[in-house]
């Protein structure tokens, strides 16, 4: 029994889905087009037509459009071609546009949705473990005198088990679930080209004068992301792993002399602090900044029109009736 009722050319689809370009138009062309039972009353036979019907669903759902343009109201810009122009090389390979498109066949939507699922699971688990390690590490370091010994012992063991899990199990899980994207990830973070240095230069200029110099495009695997991932793989994991194990041996079994143990604890703390700060920057750029901008937009919309829909701010044609006026 085939996985999908429709035969998919997965080799070509995999290549296209891994490109950092808007995928919806090409996924439409792999689809079956308008079906025989579509309720469209037109004189011509359009069964099988795979063209864009300009519904705008892909434009509305794309995170790049949401961040850069907020809303696209003009009807002739609510097409896949317009989406490609707006997104350019900044596609995040989330495939929300593919899932939202009525012209893409269901098996292709499901294939695209699952394409990076393994990578997402590993990313989420890794993020959860790093945050748990940060919280338990801070608790052990600063609050162990205030908590009962039993709780401290549980937290210490949880910290160690999570550390071992992160160090040993996560790379194996990544390999088992999605080795294609594990190798892609390693290849991308290790390749540094001239354009990366230009990107960093543009970022420094933007930080110096954000009005004159725009933020460089947030393409996938930009140098900032590459540096963060390289730090996690090449610095954070080995340094915190090795110093953690040495502390474990020193504290529980007394194998390590006291002054060396104190030095190891200091190194562990310094790198844990650097990791916490970089993690905060990563979370800020990925989520917190957008949530803050969204919250400000909602507040501005409310102050301007006594309405919580901030679309009001972005269109001269969008009007909303004040709820309190009925
Ligand atoms: S970012 Fe997501 S929704 Fe936007 S074009 Fe790329 S895959 Fe489609
Ligand atoms: S979602 Fe609508 S606008 Fe986007 S490609 Fe599909 S048919 Fe065209």
pLDDT exceeds 90 at position 45: no
Is the pLDDT higher at 49 or at 255? 49
Q: Which two tokens stand for residue 93?
A: 């390979």
What tokens were used for 249? 């041996």
CATH T-level fold of 118-191+223-305: Fumarate Reductase Cytochrome B subunit (1.20.950)
Q: Which two tokens stand for residue 192?
A: 């540094």
Cα radius of gyration (the chain): 25
Q: Is the pLDDT of residue 30 over 70?
A: yes
Q: Ligand 1 centre and the CA of 97: distance in Å?
A: 6
- On whether the pTM is more than 0.85, the answer is no
Tokens of 150: 């039993």
Give residue 163's pLDDT: 92
**What is the percent of the chain with per-residue pLDDT over 70, rounded to a whole number?**
95
Average pLDDT over residues 272-294: 91
- Sketch the domain layout of the chain as residue ranges: 10-115, 118-191+223-305
Would you say the CB of residue 105 lies under 6 angstroms from ligand 2?
no
Q: Which pLDDT score, from 0 to 100, does residue 322 have?
A: 44
CA distance 81 to 174: 35
pLDDT value at residue 3: 56
31 in contact with ligand 2, CB cutoff 6 A: no
User: Range with the lowest mean pLDDT among 184-188, 267-271, 315-319?
Assistant: 315-319
Smallest CA separation from ligand 1 atom 6, residue? 91
- 89 CB-near residues (< 8 Å, 6+ apart): 20, 21, 217, 219
- On the CB side of 49, CA atoms within 13 Å amount to 10
Provide the CA 273 distance to its chain's centre, in angstroms. Answer: 23
pLDDT confidence bin for 288, thresholds 50/70/90 = very high
101 lines ligand 2 (CB under 6 A): yes
Specify the pLDDT at position 135: 94
User: Residue 75's closest CA among 46, 102, 105, 53?
Assistant: 53
Closest ligand 2 atom to the C-alpha of 53?
7
Q: Locate the ligand 2 atom nearest the alpha carbon of residue 54 and give its number.
A: 3
Check whether 216 has a pLDDT greater than 50. yes
- Asked if residue 255 has pLDDT above 50, the reply is yes
**Percentage of the chain modeled with pLDDT above 90:** 64
Residue 316: the pLDDT is 61
* Residue spans of alpha helices (H) in 191-236: 194-208, 223-230
pLDDT tens track for 235-251: 999 999 999 999 988 88
* Spatial contact of 313 and 304, defined as CB atoms under 8 Å apart: yes
Tell me the helix, strand and coil percentages in the chain, rounded to 5.
70, 0, 30
- Predicted pLDDT of residue 324: 41
Residue whose CB lies within 8 A of the most ligand 1 atoms, among 65, 83, 92, for a mutation test: 92
More confidently predicted of 283 and 8: 283
Cα(289) to centroid of ligand 2, in Å?
29
Q: pLDDT class for 35, splitting at 50, 70, 90?
A: confident
> Residue 131: pLDDT above 60?
yes
* pLDDT, mean over the chain: 89
Identify which of 102, 129, 131, 127 has the alpha carbon closest to the alpha carbon of residue 32: 102
pLDDT at 307: 85
74 versus 5: which is more confidently predicted?
A: 74
Record the tokens describing residue 258, joined without a space: 């006291």
Assign 323 a pLDDT band (cuts: 50, 70, 90).
very low
Tell me if 103 CB under 6 Å of ligand 2: yes
Tokens of 186: 């390693």
User: Of residues 35 and 175, which shows the higher confidence score?
Assistant: 175
Residue that is written with structure tokens 């995040």 in the block: 92
Report pLDDT for 4.
63
List, for residues 58-81, the tens digit of each pLDDT value: 999 999 999 989 899 988 899 999
pLDDT digits (tens, 9 = 90+) for 165-200: 898 899 999 999 999 999 999 999 999 999 999 999
Q: Which two tokens stand for residue 6?
A: 């429709």
Tell which atom from ligand 2 comes closest to the C-alpha of 24: 5
- The finding on whether 92 has its CB within 6 A of some atom of ligand 1 is yes
């Amino acid at each position: 029994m085939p996985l999908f009722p429709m035969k998919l050319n997965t080799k070509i689809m995999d290549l296209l889905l891994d490109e950092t370009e808007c995928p919806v138009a090409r996924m439409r062309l792999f689809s079956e087009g308008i079906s025989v039972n579509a309720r469209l009353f037109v004189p011509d036979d359009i069964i099988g037509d795979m063209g864009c019907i300009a519904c705008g669903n892909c434009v509305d759902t794309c995170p790049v459009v949401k961040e850069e343009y907020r809303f696209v109201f003009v009807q002739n810009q609510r097409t896949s071609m317009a989406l490609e122009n707006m997104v350019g090389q900044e596609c995040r390979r989330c495939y929300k546009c593919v899932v939202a498109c009525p012209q893409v066949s269901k098996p292709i939507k499901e294939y695209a949705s699952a394409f990076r699922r393994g990578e997402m699971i590993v990313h989420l688990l890794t993020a959860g473990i790093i945050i748990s390690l940060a919280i338990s590490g801070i608790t052990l370091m600063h609050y162990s005198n205030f908590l009962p010994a039993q709780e401290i012992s549980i937290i210490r063991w949880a910290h160690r088990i999570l550390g071992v899990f992160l160090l040993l199990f996560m790379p194996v899980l990544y390999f088992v679930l999605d080795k294609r994207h594990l190798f892609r990830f390693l290849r991308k973070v290790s390749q540094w080209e001239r354009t990366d240095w230009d990107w960093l230069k543009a970022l420094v200029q933007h930080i110096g004068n954000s009005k004159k110099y725009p933020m460089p495009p947030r393409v996938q695997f930009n140098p900032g992301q590459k540096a963060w991932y390289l730090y996690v793989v090449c610095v954070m994991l080995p340094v915190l792993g090795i110093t953690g194990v040495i502390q474990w041996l020193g504290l529980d079994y007394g194998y390590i002399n006291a002054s060396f143990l104190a030095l190891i604890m200091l190194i562990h703390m310094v790198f844990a602090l650097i990791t916490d700060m970089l993690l905060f920057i990563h979370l800020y750029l990925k989520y917190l900044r957008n949530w803050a901008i969204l919250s400000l937009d909602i507040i501005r919309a409310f102050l301007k029109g006594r309405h919580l829909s901030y679309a009001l701010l972005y269109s001269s044609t969008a009007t909303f009736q004040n709820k309190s006026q009925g």
